[in-house]
Structure 1
Amino acid sequence: MNWYAVKAIYLSELARTWRTPMQSIASPVLSTSLYFIVFGAAIGSAMVSIDGISYGAFIIPGLIMLTVLTESTSNSSFGIYMPKWSGSIYEVLSAPVSAVEIVLGYVGAAASKSLILGGIILLTARFFVDYSILHPGWMLLFLLLTCITFSLLGFIIGLLADGFEKLQVVPLMIVTPLAFLGGTFYSISMLPEFWQKVTLFNPVVYLVSGFRWSFYGVSDVNVGVSLAMILLFMFSFLVIIYWIFRTGYKVKV
């Protein structure tokens, strides 16, 4: 394993975050804070509690997941697409660096950014809503796995995209709607029985449910199933990345 190459790619990608703090950190934190103000403080004060949890506290895990999903996907896709766009990807491919090391560098940096962002939002939420974390270890595990999984998805998008506009298609048209419909602002038990079953086909439901369980011990889906689904998504994305590098599709051709 060429750890020098992994470190170089990782630090280079992290440096891009510190060069654009307003876009990378301040903007998503501000957007999420507005959700806390509007839904948590204003609307939440008029809402009944859900499963014995105040509405403002109930939406915290969902809002963190919403931000982490979109930021992980966007950061990773942009990080690998820029070398493709500038042509420097061929220098990386011709260097003594394996596909595993490339993925570790780019995906590791994107996941680290999202993990830091999730932590900042978690601290920011304390200014608006009181909350507790029943299982902090599980909370960190779910957050880390989600950051890695959707950074892998973003890496795939960046490899396959052939234009800047296509980088935003999946995050804006697929990931964000699925997050909003995945129990971010509500419990799926509040839906009619038919729609409860339909919602189970939304993969984000399992992420939000497992993450919320780590906070309050309540979930819409069994926590074991949530963990298994996250691992399944991660494995599926790894298989796709392996196939892309193995065939060179959209990378070497």
Structure 2
Amino acid sequence: MNGINLRGIWAIYRFEMARTLRTLWQSVATPVITTSLYFIVFGGAIGSRMETIGGVEYGAFLVPGLIMLTLLTQSISNASIGIYFPKFTGTVFELLSAPISAFELVVGYVGAAATKSVVIGIIILLTSTYFVDLRIDHPLAMVAFLLLTSITFSMLGFIIGVWAKGFEQLNFVPALLVTPLTFLGGAFYSIDMLPEPWHTVSLFNPVVYLVSGFRWSFFGVGDVSPALSLGFTAAFLILCTAVIAVIFRTGYRLKN
């Protein structure tokens, strides 16, 4: 039985990371500026008129939601663009004929996309400390949610990159589905503040479980139990893995 082709994984990972380093300033400056604006608008203008939520100051309450919003969008965007460009240029056939398995190919692309997302998430976390006093009650859980979410949605981005036939479709899911669901998923408020039936309706939004679990790791409070949040994320990871397995088994939009 042949071992894992670490050199092949490293080659793909290094190529994708090098592409990011070419736009390093943009990659770093954008989340810093965006985070600062959120704190100025939401934390300053609205937070000064709002009481604490679950015993947490509103400015600090925003931080997990801001990080999660960025993780979801960046993970999907990075992974989808990473695999779409080889399709667009035709070099995907070289990848498919190279001595590298589907597993190793996915690890390279998803690993690079998840790494970029985690780095940006950490940048947002550090930027937030200049605006609010933060505490992290469960640091191990925070890291677990950070990594699991980045990997899961990078896999979703990989699927979107394979599915997309044009650049417009690459932006379809992040712009018209993920971002609205995040804004409606308790990123900037607690769903407990919603009246019925909207509170019950919000429980069908999958992003609620991601944001709630991540916020619990910071402050020990959340809209749903952390076990349920972790279970949902793990289930979605398994689903994405199954879809990617089908893609490579059938060659869907890769070999034809």
* Whole-angstrom CA distance in 1 between matches of 2:20 and 2:45: 32
Q: Shift in Å at residue 207 of structure 1?
A: 0.3
Partner of 2:141: 138
Structure 1: 5+ residue stretches without partners: none
- Which amino acid is the alignment partner of residue 186 of structure 1? Y
1:210 aligns with 2:213: yes
1:188 aligns with 2:191: yes
Partner of 1:76: 79
SS at match of 2:45: helix
1:15 aligns with 2:18: yes
Q: Shift in Å at residue 25 of structure 1?
A: 2.5
- Which amino acid is the alignment partner of residue 141 of structure 1? A
Matched length = 253
* Whole-angstrom CA distance in 1 between matches of 2:32 and 2:71: 11
Q: Shift in Å at residue 31 of structure 1?
A: 1.3
On the 8 A contact 1:32/1:67 being kept in 2, the answer is: no
Identity fraction in percent:
62
Q: TM-score under structure 1 normalisation?
A: 0.98
Structural mapping, 1:101-112, within 5 Å: 101-112=104-115
Range that drifts further, 25-34 or 234-243: 25-34
Q: Shift in Å at residue 40 of structure 1?
A: 1.3
Q: Shift in Å at residue 91 of structure 1?
A: 0.4
Specify which of 92, 117, 141 is matched with residue 114 of structure 1: 117
* Whole-angstrom CA distance in 2 between matches of 1:37 and 1:125: 11
* Whole-angstrom CA distance in 2 between matches of 1:122 and 1:96: 40
1:124 aligns with 2:133: no
1:63 aligns with 2:69: no
Q: Shift in Å at residue 45 of structure 1?
A: 1.5
Partner of 2:201: 198
Moved over 4 A (4+): none
Partner of 1:148: 151
Specify which of 9, 26, 34 is matched with residue 29 of structure 2: 26
Q: After superposition, give the CA deviation of every residue in 1:27-78 in whole Å (9 maximum; x if it has no partner).
A: 1332122112211123211211101111101111001000111000001000
SS at match of 2:228: helix
- Which amino acid is the alignment partner of residue 217 of structure 1? G
* Whole-angstrom CA distance in 2 between matches of 1:190 and 1:136: 27
Structure 2: 5+ residue stretches without partners: none
- Which amino acid is the alignment partner of residue 251 of structure 1? L
* Whole-angstrom CA distance in 1 between matches of 2:214 and 2:10: 30
Q: TM-score under structure 2 normalisation?
A: 0.97
On the 8 A contact 2:35/2:127 being kept in 1, the answer is: no
Q: Shift in Å at residue 24 of structure 1?
A: 2.4
* Whole-angstrom CA distance in 2 between matches of 1:36 and 1:108: 30
Partner of 1:86: 89
